[in-house]
Amino acid sequence: MSTEVVDQLRQLLAGGSKISLEHVDQRRFRTGSWTSTGQIQASSEREAIAAVEGHLGEYQGEYVRLIGIDPKAKRRVLETIIQRP
């Protein structure tokens, strides 16, 4: 995982945001049909990084995007693709 992604995770956790991932294969990428992996439950930065790395391995060969959610406003504060096939 790149240092840029780790930095984004740190910023999200420091800001109190919830973290989630979405994935999609190449065919569905063209139509924008992303599938959520659910919210990442992590009590530390290390656990969050390990969970994201696990999902990246599980969805190897697919697009994966990192989602940061502001729990108070219930809206996305970050949405970026962190893995491409």
Average pLDDT (7-11) is: 94
Q: Which two tokens stand for residue 18?
A: 């919830």
The torsion of the CA quartet 48, 52, 53, 58, rounded to 10 degrees, works out to 140
Chain centre to alpha carbon of residue 79:
8
Chain centre to alpha carbon of residue 36:
9
Q: How far is CA 81 from CA 5, 22, 23, 73, in A?
A: 10, 9, 9, 22
What is the predicted pLDDT for the residue at 25? 96
List, for residues 27-78, the tens digit of each pLDDT value: 999 999 999 999 999 888 999 999 999 999 999 999 999 999 999 999 999 9
pTM of the model: 0.89
